[in-house]
């Protein structure tokens, strides 16, 4: 194990790397969790936008509840170290979610 701090990736702007370097381990862990959640949110947004543009109507999944639109996708959310499936779709500018069930530990 190295005793020198890690070098930030080249893609990380210098001002962000500098600010991170000033933070405590606790804050860095919170930032890491936030960054991961934000990345998942942005990826989900992109998938939802992609699905909106897709004009092909897909067959409605058998386990899709009546009150969830067929354009909904399944996403995984982690809450208190537990993982859950949610149906997720866009209604105008808002993203809607509905609980589907827990993620099996073997998945």
pLDDT in tens, 6-22: 899 999 999 999 999 99
Quick one: 18 and 44 in the same domain?
yes
* Cβ contact 48:95 at 8 Å: yes
Quick one: 24 and 45 in the same domain?
yes
Residues in the chain: 107
35: in domain: yes
Query: How many distinct structural domains can be found in the chain?
Result: 2
pLDDT band at 64 (very low <50, low <70, confident <90, very high): confident
Q: 79 to each of 1, 32, 83, 93, how far by Cα in Å? A: 32, 16, 6, 24
Question: Which strand ranges, in their side-by-side order, compose the sheet holding 82-91?
Answer: 73-79, 82-91, 94-102
Rounded average pLDDT over 33-50: 88
Residue 77's domain comprises: 59-106
> Mean of the per-residue pLDDT values for the chain?
84
68: in domain: yes
Helix, strand, coil % over all residues of the chain, rounded to 5: 35, 25, 40
String of DSSP letters for 73-101: EEEEEEETTEEEEEEEEEETTEEEEEEEE
List of residues 6+ apart from 8 with CB closer than 8 A: 17, 20
1: in domain: no
Quick one: 78 and 102 in the same domain?
yes
Q: pTM of the predicted model, to two decimals? A: 0.47
């Amino acid at each position: 194990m190295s005793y020198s701090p890690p070098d930030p990736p080249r893609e990380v702007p210098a001002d962000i790397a500098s600010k991170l370097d000033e933070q405590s381990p606790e804050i860095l862990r919170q930032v890491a969790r936030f960054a991961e959640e934000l990345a998942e949110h942005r990826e989900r947004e992109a998938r939802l936008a992609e699905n909106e543009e897709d004009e092909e109507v897909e067959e409605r999944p058998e386990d899709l509840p009546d009150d969830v639109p067929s354009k909904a996708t399944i996403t995984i959310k982690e809450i208190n170290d537990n993982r859950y499936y949610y149906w997720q779709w866009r209604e105008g500018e808002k993203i809607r979610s509905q609980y589907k069930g827990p993620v099996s530990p073997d998945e």
